[in-house]
Amino acid sequence: MTFRRREMVEKLKLNGIADSRVLAAFLKVERHRFFDRESQEYAYEDRAYPIGYGQTISQPYTVACMTSLLVERSPAGKVLEIGTGSGYQAAILDALGYRVYTVERISALYEKAEMLFSILELSITCRSGDGTLGWPEEAPFNGIMVTAGAPHCPDSLLGQLALDGSLVVPIGEHGLQKMTVFQRKKDRFEKEVFNDFAFVPLIGREGWN
C-alpha cells in the first residue's frame, strides 16, 4: 500500500498540487484505512468511491485541492470540517497539525468515523448534527471546510470564522459546484471562485432541504 500511496502523490503533483505540506500529509495518511476491507483495493485510485448512505469519499485530487486552498490562506490553528464522511479529510487536516473539529449529520457514519479516529489515535473531535449550523460552542475557527455542495454559503459558518480565517465550500446546483473561498477581514468577506467540482448535496437548515 505504501508504494500505491506514493504513486497517488506523484499523480497529485502531475495534476498541479504543489504544496509540500499537503503532499507530505497525503504520504502519511493511509487512505485504505478509511475504506471497508473489501474495497481497499480502490483506495488509491483518483476517483470518488461510495461509502454508503448516499455519500462518497472524495477523490484524492479533490481533497488535495480543498486542503491546498485552506493551507495557503490559513496554515495553522483550529479547523472545522462539515461532513465527516469516512474521516479521511479530517485525518489529512490532523496530519497537517490543525486542531480538527468535524460534524457529520448521518449518525452511522459519525459513529464509524469516531471509532476509526480512536483506533488510529488521532486527536480529532467529532459530533453528529446539522453541519450547516457549524459548532458555535467551539468558534471562532481559523479555517472551515465544507465537503458537500451548498446552494450558498451558510451564514452560520461565516459567522464562526476568526479574523483572517478562511472558509472553503463548493457552491452551486446539484451535481456541479464552483469551489469557493471566503476570507474574513475586519469589515468584510473576500471571495474567490475556482474550478468546477461535483459533490453530494449539503443537507441542513442552511443548505438543501
127-172 pLDDT, tens digit per residue, is: 999 999 999 999 999 999 999 999 999 999 999 999 999 999 999 9
Half-sphere exposure of 161 (CA within 13 A, CB side): 28
How far is it, in rounded angstroms, from Cα 84 to Cα 169? 14
- Give me the percent of the chain exceeding a pLDDT of 90: 97
Quote the strand ranges of 99-198, DSSP E. Answer: 99-104, 124-128, 141-146, 161-173, 176-184, 189-197
Any idea which architecture 2-197 has in CATH?
A: 3-Layer(aba) Sandwich (3.40)
CA 12/CA 7 separation, integer angstroms: 9
Beta strands in 129-173 (DSSP E): 141-146, 161-173
Answer whether residue 189 shows pLDDT above 90: yes
- What is the rounded average pLDDT of the residues 8-20? 97
Cell of 102: 468535524
Is residue 58 annotated as part of the catalytic site, yes or no?
yes
Q: Looking at residue 191, what is its pLDDT?
A: 98
End-to-end CA gap in the chain = 40
Q: Which of 119, 124, 121, 78 is nearest to 103 (CA)?
A: 124
**pLDDT grade for 175, boundaries at 50, 70 and 90:** confident
Do the beta carbons of residue 186 and residue 193 sit within 8 Å? no
Longest dimension (CA), the chain: 51
Question: How many other CB atoms are found less than 10 A from the CB of residue 102?
Answer: 29
Asked if 44 contacts 8 with a C-beta cutoff of 8 angstroms, the reply is: yes
Write down the catalytic residue from 20, 39, 58, 107.
58
What's the Cα-to-Cα distance from 96 to each of 20, 176, 179, rounded to whole Å?
11, 28, 21
Q: Does the structure show a pLDDT above 80 at 42? A: yes
76-120 per-position pLDDT tens digit: 999 999 999 999 999 999 999 999 999 999 999 999 999 999 999
Residue 2 has pLDDT above 80, yes or no: yes
